[in-house]
Structure 1
């Protein structure tokens, strides 16, 4: 197989078209088209569905792209490492991270990594959805309690849990009485099952605010509007100084943040460096470490 043609095919697949690939690589569109046509002829397969205005991978093209894109990157990085005489992290590193981690800690993580590895161009995007790493060109994704995925491997590097907190001035109601609540998502009346030092308990909540961000929820709770379920790392400082009170731990709310990457034998130097940097930032992966890292 012609590796140059294969590399050009992956370039076009990654950018979603000959024109975009030509502009990104500063190469003639006609050359890329010819290379891909030659590869299709050699394989006796159609790799792209060519429409009037768009280009779409066939099932065979998608399979070839998924299985060869990472390998070509590894070949290129290995060659670069040999030339430079050291396995020094370099090149672009694309990371997808969830919203809350991005808002609270990722800026500091990214800055520290950039200072330590100036030859790596780190790009971090915020996504709570499950991105397609291959299709969207990510090297690593950070996810909360991810579903099992045979195509990905990784490690949990942080742990957290949900707690119910409120202003000290907000009375905790018992029985059928519902406390005002600040919630993310549904605005319906809710019952939260918690664990307290005295044992299991139920907290009835009547939502008075429905917000889309946990940072917004925390700020509203600080203002005394109502009780809320929040990661303990996000409110540790408020609990320690008494500005918020702890009503209980949400049952079964253990949270694990995973760093995931495509399953393959070799990791790129830049992905390995980023994983090591996360481990150094959070050596034990506890909520207290994250709270300290975030600060006030």
Structure 2
């Protein structure tokens, strides 16, 4: 490690996977991923009564060691986040840490350790605690480009998704009111009120159709068929929005990397510092080496064709 850099900066670069600590950062990521998966498997197996009784000591050891490591990771990330590239232009260290504290990934890290720490001071239902501890699987979001893109897609399309869910809620209420009017006289035990009818409307609109509550009158069956046909289009709305936003996020990340490459090639070549910066940006954007190399080759060839004549080879 470079002894000239402060320890906090070195740790921040390791967590970010920046050069020259990319190998250490990758090894740390692999270790944490394996630890998260081990925790998930242990929590699931612990729910089996016979296994819990037989291997309770092992489960407790895995839990305590994991929480100690996750707590250390969380505190280190909170401590060194002031040296992260995205926070370098902020005012004070306190504001940087507060900003990082409320980021989705930081909140997920906090939820991964909070239940066990609360258990030490309060008496909690073990079943509830086990379910909350399973939220540690969301820590894999930090290492999964697909999950990061999905979260960005939700954030990008939140207003459209809210509008779609609002429309679906209105349609569900109308469907519940309609089936209530048609069926409540012949099936008062299943459609005796609009709230009871909402269960049928919900499973019909989501195309699940459990079959535990079905209309039996001719009008109810006709109305149910119309609602089923309508539901096919309703469910497709949020799915289409997320799919489109997911593809758009990938395109934006590739374009951002291409713009960085173009800016680095202003002088006609990539220096060592510029290559390190591009590598750090590649990791941050979640692009593969193949995508990054393809972008660099494309921008380089495009720049060559723009500057040199393809016929005489003279510089324009």
- TM-score over 0.5 for the pair: no
Give the alignment's TM-score, normalised by structure 1. Answer: 0.26
